Amino acid sequence: MAKAKKAKVDDYRSLDNEALNERIADEEVRLKKTKFSHAVNPVENPLSIKTQRRAIARLKTEQRKRILGL
């Protein structure tokens, strides 16, 4: 499982700033849609909300690292 996360982080690092911002926006929209659909009709896998939230956090962490120059 750690290798899968490492691969995701490497994918995020390979994106340029504009693509990273687009990816964050897309993921946030997808999360909102999932939350709304879950409120109306339960989602098959409610853990997908958790994984989407964490993916957004990873993207935002990478964005913040770039801002700080780390």
Domain boundaries, the chain: 2-68
Q: What is the per-residue pLDDT for 13?
A: 84
pLDDT higher than 90, residue 4: no
Q: What is the pLDDT of residues 9-68, one digit of tens each?
A: 778 888 889 999 999 999 999 999 999 999 888 888 889 999 999 999 999 999 999 999
CATH of region 2-68: 1.10.287
Q: What is the per-residue pLDDT for 22?
A: 95
pLDDT higher than 90, residue 70: no
Output the furthest CA–CA distance in the chain (Å, rounded).
43
pLDDT higher than 70, residue 1: no
Using alpha carbons only, give the angle 9, 1, 37 rounded to the nearest 5 degrees: 75
